[in-house]
Structure 1
Amino acid sequence: MIIYNVTVNIDDSVHNEWLEWMKSEHIPKVLGTGKFEKATLSQVLVEEDMGGQTYSIQYRSYSREALDTYYKEDAEGLRLEGFKKFADKMLAFRTELEIVDEYTVKFK
């Protein structure tokens, strides 16, 4: 399983608008591409020197091929929407993570 992680620092002046847009528009559009099975939106609990609020959005891809298809077919347009809306008020970087193993606690 591949996780496509997007870390975003958003300026406080547009934080609430950005967060609502992410929840109601952007994340549903990304999931609507059919290349991901789920998304997790998390706030990063570290204060940044640059200020603002930082979030991590982790999209679980169905496969490496699905993520590559997302890059080819969807990523540019969806990124552009955010850039047009929030331009110099946000900074984003992307990473890919591969799940090696998962563990759960078993209660007796």
Structure 2
Amino acid sequence: MIIYNVTINIDHSIHQKWMQWMQNKHIEDVLATGLFNHARLVKVLVEEDEGVTYSVQYFTDSKDKLNDYYKNYAPKLRQEGLQLFGDKMLTFRTELEVLNEYFHSEN
């Protein structure tokens, strides 16, 4: 399992507009590529004067699917965010590979 993680800091002045766009359009557009199984939107719990930080995690089965996303879909989808929010939205991306998952077992 590969996680494509996008961390975004959103300026307070556009926070509500960005949140609506993410929840009602952008995440669905990324999932509509058919390359990701599901996504998770989480708030990063830090106090910041400059804005609010979120992490969007997109889950896929393989690095090949992620590379397909980068090549065929990412430029257009990233451009839309830049056009809407410009420098009020700062992002960085990381790729994570799930090696194992552990769960608490009750004895």
Alignment size in residue pairs: 107
CA distance in 2, matches of 1:8, 1:15: 11
CA displacement at 1:106 relative to structure 2: 2.5
SS in structure 1 opposite 2:81?
Answer: helix
Q: Structure 1, unaligned stretches of length 5 or more?
A: none
Q: Structure 2, unaligned stretches of length 5 or more?
A: none
CA displacement at 1:46 relative to structure 2: 0.9
CA RMSD, aligned part only?
A: 1.0
CA distance in 2, matches of 1:30, 1:107: 37
CA displacement at 1:81 relative to structure 2: 0.4
Q: Scaled by the length of structure 1, what TM-score is found?
A: 0.95
Question: Which amino acid is the alignment partner of residue 66 of structure 2?
Answer: L
Question: Which amino acid is the alignment partner of residue 3 of structure 2?
Answer: I
User: Deviations for 1:21-72, whole angstroms, at most 9, x for unmatched residues?
Assistant: 00000000000000100100000001235x1000000000121110010001
CA distance in 2, matches of 1:93, 1:62: 22
SS in structure 1 opposite 2:3?
Answer: strand
SS in structure 1 opposite 2:73?
Answer: helix
Residue aligning to 1:90: 89
SS in structure 2 opposite 1:36?
Answer: coil
Residue aligning to 2:51: 52
CA distance in 1, matches of 2:58, 2:47: 24
Residue aligning to 2:98: 99
Residue aligning to 2:11: 11
